[in-house]
Amino acid sequence: MAEPDTEKFYQDADKYWKEVPATVDGMLGGFAHISNTDINGSTKFLRQFIRGENAKTKSHRALDCGAGIGRITKRLLIPLFDTVDMVELNPDFLNKAREFLGEHADKVEQYIAKGLQDFTPEAGRYDVIWCQWVLGHLTDSHLVEFFKRCKVGLAPDGMLFVKENVTSSDEVDKDDTDSSVTRPRDILVKLMMEAGLKIIKEEKQKGFPKGLYDVIMFALT
């Protein structure tokens, strides 16, 4: 897709999220009722790579990208990993996360207030990097560079997971409300390939209401 006015693209997204309530419903754009289905699907998909004799990576440390108030950190990552880091553009969400996580907050080592376009993970730090419903806030070129940095941030045998909406057409859908894009699967995969990633497994999320975008989970190395 044609690159948007980068500065305005990111400024508009920042402005939008500053006005969003720091609640699960706010994080999910009014679709809090899909949270259980979402987490259950993610848990089943992720667990096969970190548990059992066929596990491909370890479960010491995970990174939650675009973490918001910690919905995914609390319900998906903390139950499966020893420690979790959170990276999130809006510092108010990270402040709320400490309260939202409650007794589980001590398993979060780092609360990092940065947009993904400006974030560089520490080399070799993470067994799993989880990116969900956030990559539409990056331009194509910044997404490729972010993927490359994620590869460096993975521990030996570490894995990157992407869970994103995809369009049913071959066109990119632009949302001027939150300053994001929804890409077709083929474009998303093309950007992964440009970054040198390899798809290990791909699966469609089941059980979401009709009328929503399809959501695909990717396991990558």
pLDDT in tens, 149-206: 999 999 999 999 999 999 999 999 999 999 999 999 999 999 999 999 999 999 999 9
Mean pLDDT, rounded, for 62-83 = 98
Query: So what's the pLDDT on residue 53?
Result: 87
Is 51 marked within a binding site? no
E strand segments, 72-213:
83-87, 108-112, 126-132, 154-166, 173-175, 180-182, 199-204
Query: Is residue 157 in a domain?
Result: yes
What per-residue string of b and e applies to 68-77 under the rule 16 or more CB within 10 Å gives b?
bbbbbbbbbb
Is 138 marked within a binding site? no
Indicate which CATH number applies to the domain containing 89. 3.40.50.150
pTM: 0.97
- CA separation for the pair 202, 82 (Å, rounded): 25
Query: Is residue 177 in a domain?
Result: yes
Query: Is residue 110 in a domain?
Result: yes
Q: Where are the alpha helices (DSSP H) in 71-139?
A: 71-72, 91-101
Is 70 marked within a binding site? no
Query: So what's the pLDDT on residue 123?
Result: 98
Q: Is 164 helix (H, G, I), strand (E, B) or coil?
A: strand
Is 117 marked within a binding site? yes
Query: Is residue 164 in a domain?
Result: yes
Query: Is residue 55 in a domain?
Result: yes
* Tokens read off for 87: 């990276």
Contact residues for 193 (Cβ-Cβ < 8 A; gap 6+): none
Q: Is 13 helix (H, G, I), strand (E, B) or coil?
A: helix
* Tokens read off for 71: 């919905």
Q: What is the total count of domains within the chain? A: 1
Query: Is residue 84 in a domain?
Result: yes
What secondary structure letter does DSSP report for 52?
A: S
- Asked if 65 and 77 touch (Cβ cutoff 8 Å), the reply is no
**Band of pLDDT at residue 54, cut at 50, 70 and 90:** confident
Domain that holds residue 157: 6-17+36-220
Query: Is residue 31 in a domain?
Result: no
95-132 tens-digit pLDDT: 999 999 999 999 999 999 999 999 999 999 999 999 99
185-201 tens-digit pLDDT: 999 999 999 999 999 99
Is 132 marked within a binding site? yes
Q: Is 51 helix (H, G, I), strand (E, B) or coil?
A: coil
- CA separation for the pair 149, 121 (Å, rounded): 7
Query: Is residue 23 in a domain?
Result: no
What secondary structure letter does DSSP report for 190?
A: H
Query: So what's the pLDDT on residue 2?
Result: 54
Length of the chain: 221
Q: Is 174 helix (H, G, I), strand (E, B) or coil?
A: strand
